[in-house]
Structure 1
Amino acid sequence: MLLERIYDEDLSQTGYFLGCQSSGEALVVDPRRDLRVYLDLAAHHGMRITAVTETHVHADFLSGTRELAAATGATAYVSGEGGRDWQYGFAAERLKKTDGAFADEPGYALTGDLVFSGDVGRPDLLDEAVGLQDTRFVGAKQLFASLRSVFLALPDHVQVFPGHGAGSACGKALGALPSTSVGYERRFAWWARHLAADDEQGFIDELLDGQPDAHAYFARMKRQNLRGPALLGERPAPRPLPAAEVAAGMAKGALTLIDTRSVDEVHAGTVPGALSIPTLGKAASHIAWAVDPERDEAELVVLAPDESVAAEYGDHFVRVGVDRLIGYVTSFDGLPVAAPATVAPADLEQLRADPATALLLDVRGRGEHAAGSIPGAVQLSAGKVLFHQDQLPPREAGRVITFCQSGLRNVVASAALRRAGYDVVELEGSFAAWSRWRAEQAEATVPA
């Protein structure tokens, strides 16, 4: 048997390529929509992808199950478990049980979002992202039962390959190890002591406490994955666009320009109305914070040195259903450039006292905010600001001052808010710089 792990650091998501050398057939589990990695693996090993499946209805990325099946002629398999609201809406073979083994002594388990290295999946996403009420408690009970009756029923030697790694919002304490074992988790995982003591309520309480913010785009992923993501087929390469075409398209609202430079470079000057995606490594996550493709029909243009890099951004974007990248520019020559508004930590209080300031906004996660923030700041994470504008003051109420921890998330959120019509001022260096400045001020006032 061949088992290859395909890890997407952008979304902390894992898929798997399983092959049989004797038959030359391969199964892909939890693929993303940019398919090249799976097609290349099949070619490298001389195999045909004959089956594709997914461990569950994903919330953090748009599944490539349907895309890969269409591209290869493979049979798609999806779960038939769950109630009416969990049934897939596209053509695929339904499986009523997918966690069994073909041998008396199983050796491997692909656990999806049931068990991670050091953690388990979160049952609160329907409440947190979709807006349902109190489904977390039913989900937590079901998770407790599944861990006891399914996962811990496996032998200790079984190797566990989870669906996510550290950094994913699909759990609160995911480890960075690519795999674990049933025995290791049984002995050391935080949740195992609750199972050993048959302490369901203790498990539920600890599981639900301190879960990270779920990004707003998770709700769209759930809907689209159930319905069946749109098929992309062969995507055209991004084309170079002249500055005049970009400027005209932005003026009409038909094009959105994406500045891909660093935070410092953006603060030195960017094109007004451009979004900010400051690192390719997190392009999928950040574009999903900044663009709602169900409401925004503008086509996208990225700043990139060449076609191949622009295409890489397109690969990341389609993982979260942002499919409208059409072109790129290699520089901002011929486009208007201006420095976005910022404020130094030393000048923050003066700006806050200005009647034209409506809000100081902390776009970090709620756990970070609870651990310490600038007094008077309101928390709304960067992954939610564009989608929860009802929690912001009206645009005409005045400026919004924004910050995160270091400035990276803040530049994404602030650009999205500016494009949505808000008057935004970014705190230079964000909370980290403000904390250093405050410590320096305190030290300066200590008598010698």
Structure 2
Amino acid sequence: MKGKGIVRAPRVLGAFRKEIAVAVFSCVFSACPYALDLVGTAGGLSDVFSSFVDGNEGLTVFRSLNIPSGGRAESLGTACVALGDDSSFFDYNPAASCILERTEVSVCHNAWIADSAMETVSATARDGNLGYGAQLKCFYVPFTEYNLYGDSVAGSYYSETSAALNVSYNFRAGYNFRGIALGGSARAAWRDVPDYTDNKTDSVISGSGLEQSAAALMLDFGAIVRFNAAKFFSDRNPNLSLGFSVMNAGLSVTGFGSSLEVDDALPTRVAAGFSWRAAKTLLISAEFRQPVNLLSLSSSGLWSAAAGVELSVMERLSFDFGFLLQGANPRISFGGGFSVMRAVVNVNYTFDLTSSANPVNHISLSARMRFGDRGRAALREKVDSHYIAGVSLYASGRIEEAVLEWERALSLDPSFDPAREAREIAVRFLGVKDDIMGIQRFSVE
């Protein structure tokens, strides 16, 4: 890796693996020489959070799966397991695609540490209660090999690339209770390690990096429940969501070109949390996570927790704040988003004990393009118009006509509970009215 003074890797497979691990770890998780001059502050924070040091940190592979794509989700401290209102759900809860309002395509760039970065492209759509989508992520680090004399003899990139396909469905969706969204994603990943050189000739050994490369297959599962609770404002959308997910459950293999073997465990995690819109302009989210080492449960990592707050100051502008407690390196994030026509742009900065001013890192940017909703908004307007017309007719005593309007509303949206409840009341009233009229006729006779 450039600038790290890494000596050329030996031929021995195990030794080379150690060189790779040290190089990637130093690039992704250490501060550069030009770090912010916050030695005293950083030292104090290290002491405060020293009890959260994870003794099992670093025992998993494909660690880039834990790096956020960036943008709004990262600004909220990555507390998004119950949020599910944009395409960032791929990283947190696969159940969300069936509850998104619009078809969406997004691109994200996350300048992580030093020269490492994450690029993400996502697309998702919804057809009724069925949601689906796809995502492609690539994390990359420049990797330069030096010989014993400090000369550069090989240069390339270490990278981890993953692709995911998602499907979800919202069961028992209604007006007050918005259903139980269940979903899953199938994910494949590839770790690409560059070839290294011969110690004596400085020539690149073709295929040598392939032995350290790896492939992984994994599944994500999730559930989201949405309803109204502690709601102090008028809005058609539910204000409380509960979420649960299992991410990156699978297996990785390495040793291509020689003998295949099971790699170290993937960064599997279980998460649960909530998202509560306390007001139209205020969103609060939080979640708890527990890493799970599927190859050795006793080697599972330490729990972590995240929280986020979003404040909308106007229809097209919002500010986000987040906190992530993970190990002994807490992260504080803040950012903002604005929308222009169909585009939504979010910018985020995350500060932790590895933050740097030169070069500036931990900055992420996302851009989302929101397309049509496949007529869902227009349908809601028609349903509302029939319902309101029925209420007006009922108030004027034209109950039979009101029932017809509510039946028209239900024919368009069978889950529209207000129309169903109003119709039931009106039908009961008409039944009582008929009974009274029958009694009156019997009395006259």
TM-score (norm 1): 0.21
Structure with greater contact order relative to length (CA < 8 Å, sep ≥ 6): 2
The structure in which a higher percent of residues are strand is 2
TM-score (norm 2): 0.21
